[in-house]
Amino acid sequence: MTSVEPSTALSYSHGTSATPLLADTIGVNLDRAIAAFPSREALVDVPSGRRWTYAEFGAAVDEVALGLLAKGVIKGDRVGIWAVNCPEWVLVQYATARIGAIMVNINPAYRAHELEYVLKQAGVSVLIASLAHKSSDYRSLVNQVREKCPQLRETVYIGDPSWGALTAGAASLPYERLTAAQSELSCDDPVNIQYTSGTTGFPKGATLSHHNILNNGYWVGRTIGYGEHDRVCLPVPFYHCFGMVMGNLGATSHGACIVIPAPSFDPVATLRAVEQERCTSLYGVPTMFIAELGLPDFASYDLSSLRTGIMAGSPCPVEVMKRVVAEMHMTEVSICYGMTETSPVSLQTRRDDDIEHRTGTVGRVLPHIEVKVVDPVSGVTHPRGTPGELCTRGYGVMLGYWDEPERTAEAVDPGRWMHTGDLAVMQEDGYVRIVGRIKDMIIRGGENIYPREIEEFLYAHPKIWDVQVVGVPHERYGEEVLACVIPRDHLDPPSLEELRAFCDGQLAHYKIPSRLQILETFPMTVSGKVRKVELREKYA
């Protein structure tokens, strides 16, 4: 049983639990799953039709691990993975963990300049990459930066003879080499570097340990009741914590099956995979669920096998959540909140929470984690019900930003609290509402405006399909409210007058949008988050 310590006065909550944290490395934890469920499916790749039982998956992971050892990769070496979702991505994730190498996740959308920065900053010695995806020719991009990255010894391409050479190299070493390598590892060793997509300057490499990400995947999965009969459909990117931690580690730490529907998000491929593989769980950001629900033939897919899933990345509109529960059969769908630097999840809704908690909050604190809401300037903990900066502490907080102690100190204070940069309110029941980013907050004539509140209200407008609210400069008030709207019908979009009339008497006058922009799509990150900074810059 898990409980949350009550605190009626202050915005502080601590997840208590009689169940201890896992003390395993990722490799040892995988061995436990293989021993318990050798003949159950561990991994299914729908596009290629390939599938592995846990016993077969373990053997494939060992082959890649020995192949890396044969290439001279040792504990602490950085191995880059620059690829779209595919089985090889998953094999590399567990193989590097087995030998103590540090896997460096590289965003598949990166171009030469960004690739060069990450390879140099992390000191990547071996890079494993896709050959191509959409407009990216990865081999050409690697060739552009190779001379500027002297530490990069070798590149292995998935689907190329170089991948076959990597796995064939396993035969040149005795299995005891792998056993010896794994025996030298501690669960506190770094195992992963994830680059956070900063809106200014270069991204920072959040360095995460076995203990960080294995426990987070385990507790996220435990909270939604994963077991060996679950089949988890993952259209979210593996290079992000959502895919590789909440998805892959969440599944294998409970003996569940990972299902890959497509190399990158495709709503048709996702629903087809759920139907074909009888998936019980589906992940996505709200825009992914909106795209799936919006398919003309949505009703023709048999999604009756679904019971749960995770929605994260941004808040879920009430109407979308109602349809996900009713029409996608995801009665136990969970909302998660987190950030790369906290491995990632610190708050999560529970299986039996009502619609109001699933849409109005991001859940309550997970076991073994502390959260608090503080004054962003003084750091003093606020009373419950008062907005402030959300901070979190516990096993999930990163080891630090790779080779950047000063930037680490800016984010993690001396008490080991991670400062999220998010504005939040902790309710009396311990559930937390995110009301915006400190940097997204609109200040109009001295009034603090939280875009999330206005967006939630505008979702109910009959002509609006999706909406994002941002602040843009105004000579008199400092900032004014701009509503960026994707209409349900582009032939009949809402007018600014209609929008203002809809808000009149329902929102305070200073919150009512004074500008409207009709769009076909929003600028998005690869992980499915709307780039509000781009909207602000474009329509300032």
Is 80 exceeded by the pLDDT of residue 9? yes
Q: How many residues does the chain have?
A: 540
Cα–Cα distance for residue pair 193/311, rounded to 1 Å: 23
* C-beta of residue 463 within 8 angstroms of C-beta of residue 491: no
Higher pLDDT, 534 or 5: 534
* C-beta of residue 427 within 8 angstroms of C-beta of residue 361: yes
* C-beta of residue 449 within 8 angstroms of C-beta of residue 440: no
Model confidence at 203, in pLDDT bands (50, 70, 90)?
Answer: confident
Among candidate residues 174, 116, 121, 176, the one with its CA nearest the CA of residue 147: 116
Instruction: Give the pLDDT score at 221.
Output: 98
Q: What are the pLDDT digits (tens) for 477-532?
A: 889 999 999 999 999 999 999 999 999 999 888 899 999 999 999 998 766 778 89
Among candidate residues 207, 206, 167, the one with its CA nearest the CA of residue 66: 167
Tell me the average pLDDT across 127-132. 97
Q: Which residue has the tokens 């808040």?
A: 315
Tell me the average pLDDT across 245-262. 98
Higher pLDDT, 161 or 531: 161
Q: What are the pLDDT digits (tens) for 75-119?
A: 999 999 999 999 999 999 999 999 999 999 999 988 899 899 999
Tell me the average pLDDT across 129-148. 94
Within 10 Å of residue 447's Cβ, how many Cβ atoms?
14
- Which domains are assigned to the chain? 2-426 (3.40.50.12780), 440-538 (3.30.300.30)
Q: Residue 520: is it exposed, middle or buried by C-beta count within 10 angstroms (0-12/13-18/19+)?
A: exposed
Tell me the average pLDDT across 369-398. 95
Q: What are the pLDDT digits (tens) for 85-97?
A: 999 999 999 999 9
Among candidate residues 434, 438, 439, 465, the one with its CA nearest the CA of residue 452: 434
With a pLDDT cut of 90, the percent of the chain lying above it is 84
Cα–Cα distance for residue pair 183/152, rounded to 1 Å: 27
Tell me the average pLDDT across 400-409. 96
Higher pLDDT, 164 or 199: 164
DSSP codes joined into one string, 167-178? HHGGGGS-HHHH
Cα–Cα distance for residue pair 521/518, rounded to 1 Å: 9
Q: Residue 206: is it exposed, middle or buried by C-beta count within 10 angstroms (0-12/13-18/19+)?
A: buried
Mean pLDDT of the chain: 94
Task: Flag the least confident range among 185-199, 383-397, 408-422.
Answer: 185-199
481 is written with which tokens? 């409210």
With a pLDDT cut of 70, the percent of the chain lying above it is 97
DSSP character at residue 304: T
Instruction: Give the pLDDT score at 43.
Output: 99
Is 60 exceeded by the pLDDT of residue 199? no
Cα–Cα distance for residue pair 468/521, rounded to 1 Å: 11
DSSP character at residue 383: B
Instruction: Give the pLDDT score at 201.
Output: 62
Tell me the average pLDDT across 437-441. 81
Cα–Cα distance for residue pair 370/92, rounded to 1 Å: 32
Within 10 Å of residue 494's Cβ, how many Cβ atoms?
22
Cα–Cα distance for residue pair 81/361, rounded to 1 Å: 34
Name the H helices within 123-209. Answer: 138-145, 161-168, 175-183
Instruction: Give the pLDDT score at 527.
Output: 62
The sheet carrying 388-394 orders its strands as 2-4, 12-17, 369-374, 388-394, 418-426, 432-437
Instruction: Give the pLDDT score at 529.
Output: 78
Instruction: Give the pLDDT score at 4.
Output: 52
Tell me the average pLDDT across 395-418. 97
* Beta-strand pair 136-137/364-365: unpaired
Instruction: Give the pLDDT score at 1.
Output: 47
Instruction: Give the pLDDT score at 486.
Output: 97
Is 80 exceeded by the pLDDT of residue 372? yes
SS3 1: coil
Task: Flag the least confident range among 25-34, 43-52, 195-204, 494-503.
Answer: 195-204
Find the farthest-apart pair of alpha carbons in the chain and give their distance in angstroms, rounded.
75
Cα distances (angstroms) measured from residue 364 to each of 13, 152, 267, 339, 428: 8, 43, 30, 15, 11
Non-local (6+) Cβ contacts of 503 within 8 A are: 454, 457, 458, 511, 512, 513
The span from the first CA to the last CA of the chain, in angstroms, equals 51
